Structure 1
Amino acid sequence: MLIGIGLLTGVTTVLFGFGGGFAAVPVVVWADAALGADAMRVATATSALVMVVNAAFATAVTPRRVLGALRGSTGLVLLLAAGATAGALATRLAPPALVLWLFVAYVAITIVDLLLRPGFLRPRTHIGEPVDGPRPLPAVLGAPIGAVAAFLGVGGSVMTVPAMRRAGHTMHVASALANPLTLAIALPATAVSLGGAALPASAGAHVHLVGLVDAGAAAALLAGALPVIGALRRRPPRIPDRIYAWAYVGLLTVVVAAMSLSGVSR
């Protein structure tokens, strides 16, 4: 099951810039249900590690001309990392149930925003114009995006992709640029998760934890994801931009449903 979800995270990494958070968090919560309320905390930490590897690999195989749109974004990247560090520390202290329902609320609000506010499904500018233009996001947004993304384990692409899309990028370019930005968020979040105290031994009796990371789940997810990322980057699918945008919204809707069911079952 985890390897199968890994295949899905490989697809979402390339197509939507989701390094693993939206697909990985629900399935790790399910797989580590024996941990009880702590399953959400372990899932966000495991998701961060999976995102580091997936986003790094996806960035490495992205054409340099596409990554060139991030020139001049050093301040944004640094603030993303700073916010992510704070968010990862905060999630260690927050009640797991709170993190789970904030995750659901965060994605649900995003879906409503994408459906109702112009610029994502109904672009206001000519798609594709700003590829060589200004930075995709103001640097000042880096800290809040990094903090929220690391706290919930979602990687930040749910904020960065719509913002770049509204700036006029195609879904293909916006999703590709989300990977290096996700890397800036996931690296410090993973360092916090690996370096902190683990759960009590009895809580993780059937789960192999390194810090708060479920090492077995992370390995299975990556085993499925990495070959898919390599294959799709070599031969990216040709998807009409409008269908691409609707698929993004559809994926978020599936995630909200999965996490809501997980929360109700608890």
Structure 2
Amino acid sequence: MDVVTLMAIGLLTGATTVLFGFGGGFVAVPVVVWADAALGTAALPVATATSALVMVVNAAFATAVTPRSVLLALRGTGALLPLLAVGAAAGAYASRFAPAALARWAFVAYVALTALDLLLRPGFLRPATRTGRAPERDPRPLPATAGAPIGAVAAFLGVGGSVMTVPAMRRAGHPMRVATALANPLTLAVALPAVAVSLAGSPPPAVPASGTGLVGLVDPYAAGALLLGALPVIAVLRRRPPRIPDRVHACAYLALLAVVALAMALTPV
């Protein structure tokens, strides 16, 4: 996959970072698997690690340009961020030893089940019937106890935390524009330890020791090209955010989950 194609896909990761809180993981994992298909079964662990690096940079930049008034909604989360980081470190370490087929189909299954949950259970596309109120009218912080499991699963699959934090914050009462913006700092807490584990360790047996251009498990060529496309888009969309009706925004999030699950299921690894 050439640099122009990767940069074009980077534009999409930048858009998903701002509009849906995805720091790049959902898009980057299938793309890097395709880009590094020559690595065979090692392509998925490399894609997961590279995705984490892309997410760190995208999420950090998006957080830095997010209005402080929005970030203040994270007050009251207590130990959530450090527990996300602890869980992410454990998940990233475990992913180094998981069979490629297990990691791939766990990714597909998790995303597909999440999409079904959002479609069928009240609280995301429509208000929860037990309260009778629109989601955005009763915002609550995420419980700190959710941090470790969210971090572990997200880092293991290489998807960041947005697939769990956006629905959770939506059901906690935040509108989509706030839930997706807050997903960026939460994704940063997940991706930072995952990147540290990926860069510090030696490649697992499935990854060739030399001649691949990898740094640890990270493909710097793919990561750099994706970021070159993503960062300008993040800057523009944060300054001039599009006006999207809340329900349309939620439906688009759900549709993107379905597309990514399908793309990963069809990836030839």
Structure 1 unaligned runs (5+)? none
Mapped contact 2:140–2:172 kept (Cα < 8 A): no
Residue 137 of structure 2, aligned match among 126, 129, 135: 129
Decide which of 95, 118, 121 is 1:117's aligned counterpart.
121
Q: Using a 3 Å threshold, how does the CA distance of structure 1 residues 81 and 201 change in structure 2: closer, same or farther?
A: closer
Shift of the alpha carbon at 1:240?
Answer: 0.7
TM-score using structure 2 length = 0.94
Contact 2:123–2:135 (8 Å) recurs in 1: no
The answer on whether the counterparts of 1:123 and 1:168 sit within 8 Å (CA) in structure 2 is: no
- 1:201 to 1:96, Cα distance in 2 relative to 1, 3 A: closer
Separation in 2, partners of 1:200, 1:164: 39
Per mean C-alpha deviation after superposition, the further-off stretch among 72-81 and 38-47 is 72-81
3-state SS of 1:89 partner: helix
**Matched residue SS, 2:96:** helix
Whether contact under 8 Å (2:11, 2:229) holds in the other structure is yes
Q: Does 1:187 align with 2:195?
A: no
Report the CA distance shift for 1:151/1:202 in structure 2 as closer, same or farther (over 3 A).
Answer: closer
* SS of equivalent residue, structure 2 residue 242: coil
Letter in 2 for 1:155: G
For each residue in 1:54-89, what CA deviation from the matched residue of structure 2 results, as whole angstroms up to 9, or x when unmatched?
A: 000000000001000101223010110000000000
Q: Indicate conservation of the 8 Å contact 2:42/2:206, yes or no.
A: no
Q: Measure, in 2, the Cα distance between the counterparts of 1:177 and 1:114.
A: 19
Query: Mapping of 1:60-99 within 5 angstroms?
Result: 60-99=64-103
Task: State the Cα deviation string for residues 131-175 of structure 1 (Å, max 9, x = none).
Answer: xx542x110010000000000000010110001111121100000
Name the CA shift for 1:104/1:150 in 2 (closer, same or farther; >3 Å). Answer: same
Alignment of 1:246-261 (within 5 A): 246-261=251-266
What TM-score does the superposition give when structure 1 sets the normalisation length?
A: 0.95
**For this pair of structures, how many residues does the alignment match?**
261
Match of 2:166 among 161, 169, 177: 161
Deviation at 1:244, TM superposition (A): 0.5
Alpha-carbon spacing, 1:134–1:95, altered in 2? closer, same or farther (3 Å): same
Aligned-partner Cα distance in 1 for 2:159–2:209:
23
CA distance, structure 1, for counterparts of residue 265 and residue 119 of structure 2: 20
CA deviation digits over 1:86-120, x for unaligned, max 9? Answer: 00000001111110100000000001100100010
Give me the whole-angstrom Cα distance separating, in 1, the residues matched to 2:114 and 2:228. 30
1:202 deviation in Å? 8.3
Q: Conserved in 2, the CA contact under 8 Å of 1:84 and 1:186?
A: yes
8 Å CA contact 1:35, 1:204 repeated in 2: no
The correspondence for 1:242, drawn from 237, 247, 250, is: 247
What residue identity is the alignment partner of 1:87?
Answer: G
Identity of counterpart residues, as a percentage? Answer: 72
Deviation at 1:201, TM superposition (A): 11
Structure 1 residue 59 corresponds to structure 2 residue 63? yes
Distance 2:32 2:228 in 1: 15
- 1:200 Cα deviation after fit: 6.8
Q: Tell me, which stretches of 5 or more residues in structure 2 are unaligned?
A: none
Is the 2:21–2:166 contact (alpha carbons within 8 Å) kept by the matching residues of 1? yes
- In structure 2, the partner of 1:31 is 35
Q: Which runs of 4+ in 1 moved over 4 A?
A: 199-202
Q: Is the 8 A contact 2:140 2:173 kept in 1?
A: no
Residue pair 2:52, 2:160 contacting (<8 A) in 1 also: yes
User: Aligned-residue CA RMSD in angstroms?
Assistant: 1.5
Contact 1:198 1:209 (8 Å CA) reproduced: no
Distance 2:55 2:257 in 1: 17
